[in-house]
């Protein structure tokens, strides 16, 4: 019996996206088939659906770099039929058919047990964006940045990564500065934990090698000039976690923050992180993330509504996190 999936095809150098019937035999290699209940919308999904960046490596492709569901069949030693599992990354939605479908077949080693403290919808409200935010928070903690060290700035704060990062940091006692291009979201950002709001324009000016020391740490999903300005304003011994490139891949900075202030720039990769690292991030989320705040930052769309939402996320029209509900 077939099942529904959002499918991206390439025709005349343009992406054509629609909902189609798939058969299990059409799925890619793997030892485990999962019946998917929920997926999520991430910035990378927006790039894949619109073709704005060549993140899709094969066609046809099912987008969706996350999913949660129930094991339907498996030959993996550590899994059993009926297990609740989730997946973040591993090239799904890029090289491997992703989560915007009713089923997926993947290697069992890619799957993480669904933490008992989260429902499937909550797990996808977190998704790769929230899991990445947790990796960033862990990087700051590992770098010695404590709540007593001073303010922590979060760029792109109204987005998916930024929203979860703000909430996590606030729950851990950090004083959070939220940088956003949507100042009308001040009320939302303060509600989820930000102490003060700054315009992204403050971090979009031509960067200088060093500026006045303002914050002990930072979580940046923007890159380019924004990241350069963040580095220039980070206190001596501070740590900056970099996880995105919404403004570009370039980094117009100098070695000054690193050799004169001992600033650490930590790159955060969520796609190929080891199972141990993933478990640590999900443990942090499980014990720290306020479920009421998570609900505040979450909206839900159907599989049919996911394509429009993917277009909106690239236009800066999406606040917080979007869950894609797969099953009816």
| pLDDT reported for residue 281 | 96
What confidence category does residue 301 fall into, taking pLDDT thresholds of 50, 70 and 90?
very high
Q: Which residues pair with 154 in a beta bridge?
A: 178, 219
| pLDDT reported for residue 328 | 64
pLDDT at 291 over 80: yes
pLDDT at 316 over 90: no
The proportion of the chain whose per-residue pLDDT surpasses 90, expressed as a percent, equals: 91
Backbone angles phi, psi at 294, to 5 degrees: -55, -45
In the chain the domains, ranked by start, together with CATH numbers, are: 3-114+297-325 (3.90.180.10), 128-267 (3.40.50.720)
The answer to whether residues 101 and 22 touch, using CB atoms and an 8 Å cutoff, is yes
pLDDT at 1 over 80: no
Mean pLDDT, range 20-42, rounded to an integer: 94
> For 196-229, b where at least 16 C-beta lie within 10 A, e where not — what string?
ebbebeebbeebeebeeebbbbbbbbbbbbbbbb
What confidence category does residue 54 fall into, taking pLDDT thresholds of 50, 70 and 90?
confident
Among 137, 102, 131, 135, smallest CA distance to 114 is for 131
The DSSP bridge pattern shows strands 176-180 and 112-113 to be unpaired
The answer to whether residues 157 and 166 touch, using CB atoms and an 8 Å cutoff, is yes
Instruction: Please compute, for residue 11, the number of CA atoms within 13 A of its CA located in the half-sphere on the CB side.
Output: 6
pLDDT in tens, 142-199: 999 999 999 999 999 999 999 999 999 999 999 999 999 999 999 999 999 999 999 9
| pLDDT reported for residue 327 | 76
The answer to whether residues 136 and 104 touch, using CB atoms and an 8 Å cutoff, is no
Alpha helices for the chain (secondary structure H): 43-50, 120-142, 160-171, 186-191, 224-232, 256-260, 275-288, 291-296, 303-314
């Amino acid at each position: 019996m077939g099942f529904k999936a959002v499918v991206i095809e390439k025709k005349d150098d343009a992406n054509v996206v629609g909902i189609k019937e798939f058969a299990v035999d059409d799925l890619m290699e793997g030892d485990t088939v999962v019946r998917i209940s929920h997926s999520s919308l991430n910035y990378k999904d927006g790039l894949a659906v619109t073709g704005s960046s060549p993140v899709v490596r094969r066609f046809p492709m099912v987008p969706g770099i996350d999913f949660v569901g129930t094991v339907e069949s498996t030959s993996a030693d550590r899994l059993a039929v009926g297990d609740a599992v989730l997946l973040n990354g591993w090239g799904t939605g890029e090289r491997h058919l992703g989560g915007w479908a009713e089923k997926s077949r993947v290697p069992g080693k890619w799957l993480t047990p669904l933490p008992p403290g989260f429902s499937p919808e909550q797990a996808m409200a977190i998704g790769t964006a929230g899991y990445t935010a947790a990796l960033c928070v862990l990087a700051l903690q590992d770098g010695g940045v404590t709540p007593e060290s001073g303010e922590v700035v979060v760029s792109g704060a109204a987005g998916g990564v930024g929203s979860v990062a703000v909430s996590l940091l606030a729950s851990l006692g950090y004083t959070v500065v939220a940088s956003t291009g949507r100042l009308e979201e001040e009320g939302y950002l303060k509600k989820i934990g930000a102490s003060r709001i700054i315009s992204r324009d403050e971090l979009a000016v031509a960067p200088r090698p060093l500026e006045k020391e303002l914050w002990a740490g930072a979580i940046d999903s923007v890159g380019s000039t924004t990241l350069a300005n963040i580095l220039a304003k980070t206190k001596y011994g501070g740590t900056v976690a970099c996880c995105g490139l919404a403004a570009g891949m370039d980094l117009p900075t100098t070695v000054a923050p690193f050799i004169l202030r001992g600033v650490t720039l930590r790159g955060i990769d969520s796609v190929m992180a080891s199972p141990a690292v993933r478990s640590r991030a999900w443990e942090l989320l499980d014990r720290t993330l306020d479920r009421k705040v998570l609900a505040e930052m979450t909206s839900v769309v159907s599989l049919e509504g996911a394509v429009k939402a993917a277009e909106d996320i690239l236009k800066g029209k999406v606040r917080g996190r979007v869950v894609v509900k797969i099953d009816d």
